[in-house]
Amino acid sequence: MTSGTKAKIEMSAGHALRCIECGEELERAAAEFRCPRCGDLLEVVYPAWAESEAQTLVWASDLKATWRERRVSFQSQDASGVWRFRELLPRVAEGVISLREGNTPVFELPGSARSAGVGRLLAKHQGMNPTGSFKDTGMTVAISVARQEGFSWVACASTGNTSASMAAYAAQGGLRSLVLIPAGKIAWGKLSQALDYGALTCQLDTDFDGCLRILTELVRRHPIYLLNSINPYRLEGQKTAAIELLEQLDWQVPEHIIVPGGNLGNCSALGKGLEELRRLDLIARLPKLSVIQAEGANALVRTLREGGGKRLVAVQAETAATAIRIGNPVSWKKAVRVLEATGGRCEQVSEAEIAVAKAEIGRDGVGCEPASAVTLAGLKKLVRQGFVQPQEQVVLILTGHLLKDPEYTLKFHRRELLPDAAEGERRSLDTYRRAPLEVEAKVEAVLRVLEQAEKSHGAK
């Protein structure tokens, strides 16, 4: 690469914050990350890109080569699957707080592909991040900005993953962290992570939406940095999953990307990443980005169907997929715009459909947490609707690790999950259920079990 092009690329990192509604530009956001003029959401923009637009073709090939070269570097920012793409991120002069996030694998899901009725199905597993979810990719950016801005406390409301991620990055960066979680509604694995990473953890007698309301008020009264996905720096980090995915696909754009929707930050982030790749001519077209929700937490589905995408229809959320048990999603407007820009769809799936899909992803040897499995359940619907064609390339974004919620998995296999499922649903659930067997501690006894299993396998 010539030194001339390098200078151009580095120049691109100067950023501003801009209101998505009224276009107001700011250098620094207020504590609750809303536009001071109209109260809407902010996004990170890079004014220098516009000035250098004529150069984007030169850039594109240079950037792809630079990013690839960094994969073999031992320098800590290069080893991060987020900061490897730093030309498209805000510059953090103080140094970044990183746990080598990103660099997550793309897996084949052959069994799930058959079940969904598509020829080939890929999954980018964001649960393979250091704390077990996609949140790490956003947290590394936002928490680095928090330290640069001089904060000593950071905070979030969480259904589990955000709290574990924030607590880990705060600990790594020498910051203190406050976590607000809905009492009894987060998976034990996640709570234990937050505790071990040293977070001040408060279980509140409310749901996620209630925790977020309290936190928004708290940050107005106390100097504490808000790390929920209303923070646009979180989304900047999360958008790199889209960049990394395209790189892993050798820049061949898939037809569909499918992602779960809760607070709707992640689909907004991935959409922003894709649109920026397109704008910089790093890809020739956009994939369709579709968002799937649980039926009991379907605010975006209803916002589109009943509100025409113009006003939020909030819901009282209920689903065993606790990560997406969110009724009043902050980033709904960004999500609607991403669906419109990419031509994706928004669908909802039932609790039984989620449980079956999760088990199917498990049977591919990959596994994920319940919220992530909505993607496969949603894909099946989109195929039935004819929106996804069998020969099209589809990538599911698996957002969290199987081990986040072993209680859900054990309940499923012990037939304790969805005891009231209808007959048809129960039959599909039973196909995948494997409760542990109580067996006498003798070789003969285990042999008998094995023979039995071989017989019933042969009978299928």
Binding interface with ligand F0G (CB under 6 A) = 133, 135, 158-162, 229, 260-266, 323-324, 369, 371-372, 399-400
Q: State in angstroms the smallest separation of the CB of 115 from ligand F0G.
A: 21
Q: State in angstroms the smallest separation of the CB of 264 from ligand F0G.
A: 5
Q: State in angstroms the smallest separation of the CB of 211 from ligand F0G.
A: 9
Nearer to ligand F0G, 12 or 319 (CB): 319
What is the CB neighbour count within 10 angstroms for residue 216? 18
Give the strand order in the sheet containing 288-294.
Answer: 106-108, 121-125, 394-398, 256-260, 288-294, 346-349
Nearer to ligand F0G, 294 or 421 (CB): 294
Q: State in angstroms the smallest separation of the CB of 419 from ligand F0G.
A: 25
Q: State in angstroms the smallest separation of the CB of 186 from ligand F0G.
A: 8
What is the CB neighbour count within 10 angstroms for residue 364? 18
Asked if residues 390 and 147 have their Cβ atoms less than 8 Å apart, the reply is no
Nearer to ligand F0G, 303 or 372 (CB): 372
Q: State in angstroms the smallest separation of the CB of 243 from ligand F0G.
A: 17
Nearer to ligand F0G, 264 or 274 (CB): 264
Using CA atoms, how far apart are residues 338 and 333, in angstroms rounded to an integer? 9
Minimal CA–CA distance to 191: which of 108, 121, 131? 131
Using CA atoms, how far apart are residues 330 and 67, in angstroms rounded to an integer? 32
Q: State in angstroms the smallest separation of the CB of 339 from ligand F0G.
A: 13
Nearer to ligand F0G, 133 or 328 (CB): 133
Residue 28 CB-half CA count within 13 A: 7
Minimal CA–CA distance to 157: which of 198, 210, 112? 210
Nearer to ligand F0G, 373 or 394 (CB): 373
Minimal CA–CA distance to 297: which of 231, 386, 395, 370? 370
Nearer to ligand F0G, 104 or 372 (CB): 372
Q: State in angstroms the smallest separation of the CB of 191 from ligand F0G.
A: 12
Q: State in angstroms the smallest separation of the CB of 244 from ligand F0G.
A: 17
Nearer to ligand F0G, 160 or 296 (CB): 160
Nearer to ligand F0G, 158 or 319 (CB): 158
